[in-house]
Amino acid sequence: MTDAVGSIDMPDAQDEAPESKKTRKGGKRAKKGPFKRLALFYRQVVAELRKVVWPTRSQLTTYTTVVIVFVVIMIGLVTVIDFGLDKAAKYVFG
């Protein structure tokens, strides 16, 4: 009986594990010391930071202004809602 992949009775070649190779515990990290791993981590962090597209000064100023204006608007909105609920609670409960 066969399907689209192959025979059910005969396993694929990739399913069979070669018995001649020994598997090492811990993989490649087991041979490196803690300082080498720390240095590798640092190099990888620096490499990732070089990939970042940093904003220009004008973009940063624009983004900061937008965030500050949004926060001020939200503070005003929450203040008005809080004041209204306070007056409503005082009206209902005396």
| Domain boundary assignment for the chain | 55-93
Query: Rounded mean pLDDT of 17-29?
Result: 58
pLDDT bucket at 31, cuts 50 / 70 / 90: confident
What value does the mean pLDDT take over residues 43-58?
95
Confidence band of 19 (pLDDT split at 50, 70, 90): low
Of 71 and 6, the structure prediction assigns the larger pLDDT to 71
How far is Cα 65 from Cα 55, in angstroms, rounded to an integer? 14
Whole-number Cα distances in Å, 35 to 24, 31, 39: 21, 12, 6
> pTM score, two decimals?
0.49
At 85 the pLDDT is 97
What CA–CA distance (Å, rounded) separates 3 from 25? Answer: 37
